[in-house]
Chains A and B, each alone.
Chain A
Amino acid sequence: SQQGEEDPQALSIQEGENATMNCSYKTSINNLQWYRQNSGRGLVHLILIRSNEREKHSGRLRVTLDTSKKSSSLLITASRAADTASYFCATDGWETSGSRLTFGEGTQLTVNP
């Protein structure tokens, strides 16, 4: 079963606008990661945020984590057509062994030129 739920399921914006995607999860986590997937290909790791962190930046990406609300958000600023992809959040927690990641259903982002 899916741990996370992304919101919205689909998002369409114009180039240059900001895109915000949200992720909610159900159980306690150790870390939360965001991945990008282009056209059903492999997943590209974007950013990892640990449970004791509240915000993290990487280039045009900004991730926040609110463990009290069991939610995270991914903000992509000044979007480009090349950002068009599916975005997934993935969690790992103390209850699961190894490096098992539990993914959400994903947000399909379309950036129109």
Chain B
Amino acid sequence: DAGVTQSPTHLIKTRGQHVTLRCSPISGHKSVSWYQQVLGQGPQFIFQYYEKEERGRGNFPDRFSARQFPNYSSELNVNALLLGDSALYLCASSLGRQWLGETQYFGPGTRLLVL
């Protein structure tokens, strides 16, 4: 079975632009979470979606938004990009049958550079 896939792998944007990152979960997984990992730090939780509904949101500004589609794939959108948004964006999927204690499977990430 294919693992979690993310696209694109790399992206370069300039300040003020908008970006859309995409994630396809493992087949059968209904929950998708997004994390931001700045160089040299651990990942930070941004959003979790389950059955197309937002189930959790981290401490990120409203410039960050996401959605989940009927096929459980997900998009992360970031508006008005800042230099500080440069990071590796990770998507993780899980079955979503247990709210706590599930293994989350991560994709390879999208590396975003904002100039």
Decide whether A and B assemble into one complex. Answer: yes
Give the interface of A toward B (CB within 8 A). 1-2, 4, 30-31, 33, 35, 40-45, 48, 50, 88, 90, 92-94, 96-106
Interface check B55, CB cutoff 8 A: yes
Pair A88/B56 contact, Cβ less than 8 Å: no
Contacts A45-B104, A98-B56, A100-B56; A105 near B41 (Cβ below 8 A): yes
Interface string of B35-70 (1 = CB under 8 A from A): 100010111110010100001101100000000000
Chain A nearest CB, measured from B26 CB (Å): 12
Taking a contact as CB atoms closer than 8 A, the residue among A4, A90, A98, A103 that contacts B99 in the complex is A98
User: Could you count the A-B residue pairs with CB atoms below 8 Å apart for me: how many are there?
Assistant: 86
Contacts A43-B90, A88-B42, A104-B42; A99 near B111 (Cβ below 8 A): no
A41 and B44 alpha carbons, distance in the complex (Å): 15
Pair B107/A99 contact, Cβ less than 8 Å: no
Interface check B31, CB cutoff 8 A: yes
Taking a contact as CB atoms closer than 8 A, the residue among A42, A48, A97, A103 that contacts B44 in the complex is A103
Give the interface of B toward A (CB within 8 A). 4, 31, 33, 35, 39, 41-45, 48, 50, 55-56, 58-59, 88, 90, 92, 94, 96, 99-109, 111
